[in-house]
Chains A and B, each alone.
Chain A
């Protein structure tokens, strides 16, 4: 599904992502871990089109992504959430999800201005679909609240469901559990399983190791922009290099 081949990204003299290769296959939940500053979020930005790699290739669903812009990559079927919550704060919760549906809707500008029957029906349909998505993560009762007024944990869930609304094949989650309390984390676990059942492949960055080890099928470890290790959670956990990187041994 996603093949990253020898990808390097430099900011001036700093090499943020250094010759990283990895392969993601359909249907599994993948983890991306590493100490702070290892380049995890930068790696996400790279595959989702925020940055263009200096070297290497990114191929998603048979399409070369290098140089494609974020919105184009979203249309190909990759959607994401953000480490810092990036909701449309002064829009309602359901409107946020409807923005997520944007690439799925067909009606154009003039259909909207003229208020054609087809456009109105599509809007009705979109609203219904958005509310269904809110049910999916249990935010239905907040549908008409301003998204900026939600609790932190709920904002994280809204980010996830907003990204899901475009029916992506691959979902990138950047620290979905950050700021969540333990109850919310259990909910998140269930939701991630439900997403997997929809046939969506997940690649997630997360610092909560208990969650990561419990839910992922396969983990990549980044350190100083390089891929340090990869394997099943058990393999990674017992990898001496990974342990050294986390504990700061030499």
Chain B
């Protein structure tokens, strides 16, 4: 117990010091910011996929709704950016619920097709928007987050903003999955028939899981938009959805740490393999196969197994 507390404190110190340690390596801080964004996005996907057992192969759509939603709201309604980020995420949650309402009746493989279709629809809307409001393929410029006059316009500052977001979102996730609601998600994943028999309104909970998941991923999309300050449709294609799933499965589902490990591993791998960018999808494919065939619990699963073993020996 004491040991784990000390470990946590050490981790917190390291996390706070990262940008200072990397002060001569701005690119490294930049990547860390992206890791934060993806942790939020994938933690959301994990709620619906890892915990509730409902696949989504179109989560890039929520990433897009968050990014464009926040950028457009800022430009056309002139609301402050943090507020537009939250609003865009709420809009995504509502859209997620509307999508889940009919989709909650579908079994796994039909649900995956429906979410692929949804991803494609949002992509097309962004790429060929009515009146060109999103800037279509020329892209859309937006501004950095402005916290009451304090602009989060450097990688250094964004790192801390992202760290705060990750903490808040992981804390919310932790509370949710440890509650009555979280148990209902798990029960649905494990056995929807029995969950129903235990008095759980399976359909409502699937909708809640989907909406929450959409909120997370959309907020991450908004973070992305105001970090890069430029968004264009390519970022939100089905390639992004595949990357989300790869990160989640590679890191490990249904845990707090899995998505964190997955986001770090896949992003670092991406950076390391920049020279092979055209083979990115091939690499994701191979990673997915490796995970599914050799380590179904992902990195987190492997680590947990080792820890459990050690505990048994103790």
Smallest Cβ distance from A40 to chain B, in angstroms? 17
Task: Tell me if B186 and A95 are in contact (CB < 8 A).
Answer: yes
| Known contacts A88-B194, A91-B187: A113-B175 contact under CB 8 Å | yes
Residues of A within 8 A of B194 (CB): 82, 86-88
A240 adjacent to chain B (CB < 8 Å)? no
Query: Interface SS of chain B: helix, strand, loop or mixed?
Result: helix
The complex places the Cα of A234 from the Cα of B85 at a distance, in Å, of 72
Q: Is the CB of B176 within 8 A of A112?
A: yes
The answer to the question of B86 belonging to the interface, with a C-beta cut-off of 8 Å to chain A, is: no
Chain B residues, CB < 8 A from A166: 198-199
Question: Given the complex, which residues of A lie within 8 Å of B193, measured CB to CB?
Answer: 50, 86
Residue numbers in B under 8 Å from A70 (CB-CB): 196-197
- Tell whether, in the assembled complex, residue A88 and residue B187 are in contact, meaning their CB atoms are under 8 Å apart: yes
Q: Are A88 and B201 in contact (CB under 8 A)?
A: no
How far apart sit A87 and B180, CA to CA, in the bound complex (Å)?
17
| Additional A-B contacts beyond A86-B194, A102-B180, A123-B178 (13; CB < 8 A) | A70-B197, A71-B199, A74-B198, A79-B197, A79-B198, A88-B186, A88-B190, A88-B195, A95-B183, A102-B198, A109-B181, A113-B172, A166-B199
Shortest distance in angstroms between B172's beta carbon and chain A's nearest beta carbon? 5
B97 to chain A, nearest CB (A): 12
CB-defined contacts of A88 to chain B, threshold 8 Å = 186-187, 190-191, 194-195
Query: What are the interface flags for A70-100 relative to B under an 8 Å C-beta threshold, 1 for contact and 0 otherwise?
Result: 1100110001101000111111000100111
A-B contacts, 5 listed (Cβ < 8 Å): A69-B196, A79-B198, A91-B186, A109-B208, A113-B176
B-facing residues in A96-147 (Cβ within 8 Å): 98-100, 102-103, 105, 107, 109, 112-115, 119, 123, 126
**Interface set, chain A 142-191, CB cutoff 8 A to B:** 162-163, 166
B96 on interface, CB distance cutoff 8 Å: no
A69 / chain B contacts, CB cutoff of 8 Å: 196
- The answer to whether A99 and B187 touch (CB under 8 A), given A113-B175, A115-B175, is yes
Interface readout for B158-189 with A: 1 if CB under 8 Å, 0 if not? 00000000000000100110111111101100
> In the assembly, what is the distance between CA of A82 and CA of B179, in Å?
26
Separation of A109 and B97 alpha carbons in the complex (Å): 15
Whose C-beta in chain A lies nearest to the C-beta of B180? A105
Size band of the interface chain B makes with A: 20 to 34
B182, A75: Cβ atoms closer than 8 Å: no
Task: Rank and list the top 7 A-B pairs by shortest CB-CB distance, nearest first.
Answer: A112-B179, A74-B199, A103-B199, A88-B190, A86-B194, A70-B196, A99-B187
- CA separation between A123 and B181, bound complex, in Å? 11
Bound Cα distance from A166 to B187, whole angstroms:
15
Choose among B176, B194, B198 the residue with the greatest number of A CB atoms under 10 Å from its CB: B198
Is the pair A102, B183 in contact by a Cβ cutoff of 8 Å? yes
Min CB gap A113→B, angstroms? 5
Q: Is the C-beta of B200 less than 8 angstroms from some C-beta in chain A?
A: yes
Q: Are B179 and A99 in contact (CB under 8 A)?
A: no
- The residue in chain A whose Cβ has the minimal distance to the Cβ of B186 is A91
**Most chain B CB within a 10 A radius of its CB, from A86, A87, A102, A103:** A102
Q: Which residues of B are in contact with A by a Cβ distance under 8 Å?
A: 172, 175-176, 178-184, 186-187, 190-191, 193-202, 208
Query: What separation, in Å, do the CA atoms of A90 and B195 have in the docked complex?
Result: 14
- Interchain CB contact (< 8 A) of B183 among A71, A75, A99, A103: A99
Q: Which of B178, B190, B200 contacts A102 (CB 8 A)?
A: B200
CA distance A13 to B197 in the complex (A): 28
Q: Is A48 an interface residue (CB 8 A)?
A: yes
Closest to B188 in A: A88
A71 to B202, CA, bound (A): 8
Chain A nearest CB from B219 CB (Å) reads 14
Q: Are B181 and A91 in contact (CB under 8 A)?
A: no
Q: Output the nearest chain B residue to A114 by Cβ-Cβ distance.
A: B175
Contacts of B198 in A (CB 8 A): 71, 74, 79, 99-100, 102-103, 162-163, 166
Contacting residues, chain A, for B191 (C-beta < 8 A)? 86-89
**For B179, what are the chain A residues with a Cβ–Cβ distance below 8 Å?**
107, 112, 119, 123
- Neighbouring A residues of B208 by C-beta, 8 Å: 109
Once the chains are docked, how many angstroms separate the CA of A221 from the CA of B72? 68
Q: Could you tell me if B197 and A99 are in contact, using CB atoms closer than 8 angstroms? A: no
Chain A: minimal CB distance from B74 (Å): 26
Asked if B176 and A71 sit within 8 Å, CB to CB, the answer is no
Contact status of A80 and B197, CB under 8 A, knowing A91-B183, A107-B180: yes
Please state if A112 and B196 are interface contacts (CB–CB under 8 Å). no
**Residues in A neighbouring B199, C-beta threshold 8 A:** 71, 74-75, 79, 102-103, 166
Residues of B within 8 A of A48 (CB): 197
From residue B170, how far is it (CB to closest CB) to chain A in Å? 12
List, in ascending order, chain A residues with CB within 8 A of B176's CB: 109, 112-113
